[in-house]
Amino acid sequence: MHVRVVDREGEERELEALEGWRLMEIIRDWGLPIKAECGGACACATCHVYVAQDWVEKLHPPREDELDRLDEAYDVRPNSRLACQILFSPELDGLTVVLAPELA
């Protein structure tokens, strides 16, 4: 199982993903720059990613608290998600996401 992550410099990497891990944890554990300050509590919006268009519909829709927290992210788009709210499963093999800009 893999996830493709495009960093803020535009470089794409294929990371091995594990079932039951949050997308944020996978990205963080591979050492990519994702702040994830609240450790996945949906409390900081520093794990903001853009999901590739053809994947948007395949993910479970965001819950209310994720939409609320996205208010604290920058440049939110219709395909914006918080990576800590996406649990990896075999159906997500091949998912592609782009790291969103960071707030200082």
Partner 1 sequence: MTNDNIITTDVVIVGAGPCGLFAVFELGLLDIRAHLVDILPKVGGQCAELYPEKPIYDIPGFPVVTGQGLVDNLIEQIKPFGPTFHLNQMIQALEPTGTAEAPRFRVVTDAGTVFDTKTVLIAAGGGSFQPKKPPIPGIDAYEGKSGGGAGVFYAVRKMEAFRGRDVLIVGGGDSALDWTLNLQPIARRVTLMHRRDDFRAAPHSVEQMRALVASGQMDMKLGQVTGLRGEGATLEAAICRDAAGETFEIACDTLLPFFGLTMKLGPIADWGLNLNENLIPADTEKFETSTPGIFAIGDINTYPGKLKLILSGFHEAALAAQKVHRYVYPDKRLTFQYTTSSTSLQKKLGVA
Interface with ligand FAD (CB under 6 A): 38-39, 41, 43
Smallest Cα–Cα separation from 25: which of 100, 87, 96? 87
| Cα–Cα distance measured from residue 43 to residue 66, given in angstroms and rounded to the nearest whole number | 9
Told to check if 71 binds partner 1 by CB under 8 A, we report yes
Identify the residue whose tokens are 């520093």. Answer: 46
Q: Which of 58, 74, 89, 93 binds partner 1 (CB under 8 A)?
A: 74
CA angle 47, 90, 16 (to 5 degrees): 60
- Candidates 11-19, 30-38, 50-58, 93-101: pick the segment binding ligand FES (CB under 6 A): 30-38
Footprint of ligand FES on residues 43-72 (CB under 6 A)? 43-47, 69
| Cα–Cα distance measured from residue 13 to residue 6, given in angstroms and rounded to the nearest whole number | 6
Binding mask 9-48 for partner 1 (x = CB under 8 A): --------------------------x-xx--x-xxxx--
